[in-house]
Amino acid sequence: MTIKHGSSLDGMETTPSDETGSPPVSPGSARTNRLATIKRWIRRCLARWRSIVATALVVTAVGVPAGLFFILHRPDQQVGDAAAHRAIQAASDGAVAVLSYAPDNLDRDFAKAKSYLTGDFLAYYTKFTEQIAAMAQQKHVTETAKVVRAAVSELHPDSALVLVFINQTATSKEKPEPQTTATSARVTLTKVKGSWLISNLDPLS
């Protein structure tokens, strides 16, 4: 029986030779390879962290001005709703006061209406009431207005534009039966010392 090199017989083994011909790896070479691998891994980590840091800086650079813009120039929804509500309330109350009067309380009604007005419109309304006061008393004209709907069209820090829809009822000595008409108006508001005042009232229908 022929025994091949590297086989065993009766518990005896032969030592195989290196058939590949590759030289053995020395401990120094293995350590050098590990160091090179670690350096490459560190370089990849640093590159990844530089990308993350750069992205964070960009986000911060954009986010801070954006945050300041919203804080300083864009009030939150609650504040915006509150400002719009105050403008609508001022326009509605002022329009009702301007369009409502009774012959027995003309001075009081006119004075109340003037408290909602400002500027040229206040001067115009004052002259208007002086002209209609005698007629309103003589003919017992009563005007009553009621705002049925109102909405903000424009809202700025010191000015606003509100659309109001009004039911206006009139009675007189000649026509004692109430006559109701539906009208609408564009109310321009100006903020004066923190309060909304009507600076113009334009009938639309």
Sorted by sequence, the CB contacts under 8 Å of residue 96 that are 6+ apart come out as 145, 146, 147, 166
In this prediction, residue 189 carries a pLDDT of 97
Q: How far apart are CA 57 and CA 77, in angstroms?
A: 29
**Burial degree of 91 (CB within 10 A; 0-12, 13-18, 19+):** buried
The closest of 192, 194, 142 to 168, measured between CA atoms, is 142
Q: How far apart are CA 76 and CA 174, in angstroms?
A: 54
Ramachandran bin of 6, using left for φ above 0, alpha for ψ from -120 to 50, beta for the remaining angles: left
pLDDT in tens, the chain (205 residues): 433 344 333 433 444 444 444 445 455 566 566 555 555 555 554 455 444 444 444 444 444 444 444 444 444 344 478 899 999 999 999 999 999 999 999 999 999 999 999 999 999 999 999 988 888 888 999 999 999 999 999 999 999 999 999 999 999 988 889 999 999 999 999 999 999 999 999 998 7
What are the φ and ψ backbone dihedral angles of 114, each rounded to 5 degrees?
A: -60, -30
DSSP 104: G
Q: How far apart are CA 200 and CA 191, in angstroms?
A: 13
* 8-9 and 12-13 beta bridge pairing: antiparallel
